[in-house]
Amino acid sequence: MFKLIKTDNATKARLGRLRTKHGVVETPVFMPVGTQATVKALDPRELEEMGAQIVLSNTYHLAIRPGLEIIERAGGLHAFMGWPGPILTDSGGYQVFSLAKIRKIRPHGVEFRSHVDGAPFFLGPREAMAIQRTLGSDIAMVFDECPPHDAPAKEVSAAVERTIRWAAECREQPRGDGQLVFGIVQGGNVPALREMCARKLVAMDFDGYAIGGVSVGEPEAEMMRAVEMTEPFLPQNKPRYAMGLGTPAQIVELVARGVDMFDCVLPTRLARNGTAFTARGAYGIKGGAYKDDFRPIEEGCDCFACRRFTRAYIRHLLNVEEILGLRLVSLHNSYFYLKLMRDIRRHIEAGTFAEFRREFVANYVPSRRILQLRNQNSE
């Protein structure tokens, strides 16, 4: 199912190959986020052409809208959204954090009030796995509780206990045909809880393991520590997935810490705010400085937006609220992330990842605006 091909000599970076029912995924990999059965502003053909291997969708949101009956009648999630490759579905555990104001945690799951119409909606281990089985995703995530980064230790400990108990219940549920199931390690910033959670989940022998409870508003240093606390207790022969991460420089650093899989809403979310990623950081293309700038979004980029259009034109589209503007920036940002992963894999294979990491991180200038947008709860 997962083959570890090479480990970097100077870091913990790994080159791997993950086999799923709908295709092989070369790792490290970035998964574009298609929460509601679509990667915002992009179509499946564009994703395929830019090299996307696998996309992510969300159990909670799809169960609310359009509902399981519609997707089942369509022939499953792949057929419904027209995506032929692998799909990973989040279990809805993140919504336990992001929709805290409209939910109540119970022993066997979580009672939500739908964010759409306020209707009651219960989601627990059995329900989450049944929904993902009906969706037919290639990788299903166990249902967990994701506490906020500043939660008191007692609350984090209770969340870990529930996460372990719910994971065991998820493990007992039937799977879809060829479906893989990943456990999720919680524990906040408490090393003992991270270790305990990881050890107990590894004993359940899931197909892969996610590092949860990151990208929940914590400073970057805490995020890195959470990964460093967890990674040593995860098996070498299973894929590791850092949920909801991150900026380009963060991804490079987390690959160096042994992480194989990533997802993040930033490429498309920032595009809708007129922000473009480059190897030297992100910038707001709507600014007046670009009104007569006839260079591409990023010089040297081979995406369709950069091959065909200028900053001046895209700025014009964004400022007059033409849909093409946000589509072009979304296309560029997604291409940038996917190319970054190709570059990372190439350097691990060549034995030059450590040098690539130093150069990339040194040249990449982080943006405070990006961190603010990262911490918003909705895609």
| Model confidence pTM above 0.85 | yes
So what's the pLDDT on residue 247?
96
So what's the pLDDT on residue 142?
98
pLDDT tens digits for range 38-62: 999 999 999 999 999 999 999 999 9
DSSP 206: -
Angle at 338 between CA 333 and CA 341, to 5 degrees: 130
Confidence of residue 266 (pLDDT cuts 50, 70, 90): very high
pLDDT tens digits for range 284-338: 999 999 999 999 999 999 999 999 999 999 999 999 999 999 999 999 999 999 9
Give percent of the chain above pLDDT 70. 97
So what's the pLDDT on residue 23?
98
Q: What's the average model confidence in pLDDT over 217-237?
A: 96
Note every long-range contact of 286-289, with CB atoms under 8 Å and residues 24 or more positions apart, other chains counting.
Answer: 286/315, 286/318, 286/319, 287/315
Positions marked active-site:
90, 263
So what's the pLDDT on residue 46?
98
pLDDT tens digits for range 106-152: 999 999 999 999 999 999 999 999 999 999 999 999 999 999 999 99
So what's the pLDDT on residue 374?
52
Q: Which residues pair with 90 in a beta bridge?
A: 58
Q: What's the average model confidence in pLDDT over 18-46?
A: 98
Q: Is the pLDDT at 8 greater than 70, yes or no?
A: yes
Give the pair of three-digit tokens for residue 173: 């549920």
DSSP helix/strand/coil, 50 = coil
* Strand pairing class (2-7; 14-20): antiparallel
So what's the pLDDT on residue 217?
86
Confidence of residue 370 (pLDDT cuts 50, 70, 90): low
Cα Dmax for the chain: 61
Q: Is the pLDDT at 379 greater than 50, yes or no?
A: no
So what's the pLDDT on residue 151?
93
- CA proximity to 264, closest of 243, 283, 239, 240: 243
Confidence of residue 367 (pLDDT cuts 50, 70, 90): confident
CB 123 within 8 A of CB 61: no
Give percent of the chain above pLDDT 90. 95
Domains of the chain: 2-265 (3.20.20.105), 271-368 (no CATH)
pLDDT tens digits for range 75-100: 999 999 999 999 999 999 999 999 99
- CA proximity to 263, closest of 25, 65, 100, 77: 25
So what's the pLDDT on residue 377?
43
CB 378 within 8 A of CB 255: no
So what's the pLDDT on residue 215?
87
